[in-house]
Amino acid sequence: MAEKRIVKAAAVQISPDLDSGEGTLARALNALGEAADKGAEFVVFPETFLPWYPYFSFTRPPVAIGGEHLRLYEHAVTVPGPVVDAISATARRRGVVVVLGVNERDHGSLYNAQLIFDADGSLKLKRRKITPTYHERMIWGQGDGAGLKVVDTKVGRVGALACWEHYNPLARFALMAQHEEIHAAQFPDRWWGRSSPTRSRRRSATTRPRAPVSWSTPRAGSPTSSAPRSSPTKRCARRSPAAA
């Protein structure tokens, strides 16, 4: 039986720069450095934090979102590419494991992707959200089950799901069956109001998988402001053999 230990985690809750993908990357690198300075070993960013979550698909009718969709495409992340290189270099230099949500551009399509970097900077996993939710289907292509994997990292066996994937029992089971020890749950900002299903989704994510959860969303208000709101929120996650 593996020995229990404490892993210090940071759930980053800051606003993206809605005008610049480079600006959001700079904020991500600064937050990563700040978290590492405070002793974090495991750092999780929100869903599609880079360059930003497509809030416009919530707030505008489909006929009016073409321009914003193209702008998101222009700022989107390629894997491999300069954004991956920058996060990888910082993870390696600071010795931290990172879970980053990005809008991935692959040829003519965008995907909701999750990237897991080990503390040596290596990209251990790139997975795509299996089925975009509701309005998101106008923005992102569908992923597949090939990314439902748990990977070995410096802090333990790490898995990740995005947003409403936590309502998918088979997706959760796929990670549990691989003996996931730490789970990264990524969500967009709770911008639609004070009354939201966020709390129930958190219960679903934290009570059903048998692994600690690091929960990350952008800072509230991010769709209307590009200013940083706060330093990373730090949490402690216990690594244990409970998922075995």
Which one of 47, 104, 136, 165 is the catalytic residue?
A: 47
Residue 126 among the catalytic residues = no
Domain that holds residue 176: 5-243
CATH of the domain at 22: 3.60.110.10
Strands (E), the chain: 5-11, 42-44, 97-106, 109-117, 123-128, 151-153, 156-162, 182-186, 213-216, 233-239
CA distance 50 to 24: 6
226, 56 Cβ separation under 8 angstroms: no
Residue 47 among the catalytic residues = yes
pLDDT of the chain, 244 residues: tens digit per residue? 466 778 999 999 999 999 999 999 999 999 999 999 999 999 999 999 999 999 888 888 888 989 999 999 999 999 999 999 999 999 999 999 999 999 999 999 999 999 999 999 999 999 999 988 888 888 999 999 899 999 999 999 999 999 989 998 999 999 999 999 999 999 987 655 444 444 544 444 443 444 455 555 565 444 333 333 333 434 444 443 333 3
Q: Burial letters for 71-84: b for 16+ Cβ neighbours within 10 Å, e otherwise?
A: bbeebbbeeeeebb
- pTM of the predicted protein model: 0.82
Could you say which DSSP state residue 77 is in? B
Number of domains in the chain: 1
Which one of 41, 104, 163, 181 is the catalytic residue?
A: 163
Reading the block at residue 192, the tokens are 């639609």
Residue 124 among the catalytic residues = no
Which one of 41, 104, 129, 181 is the catalytic residue?
A: 129
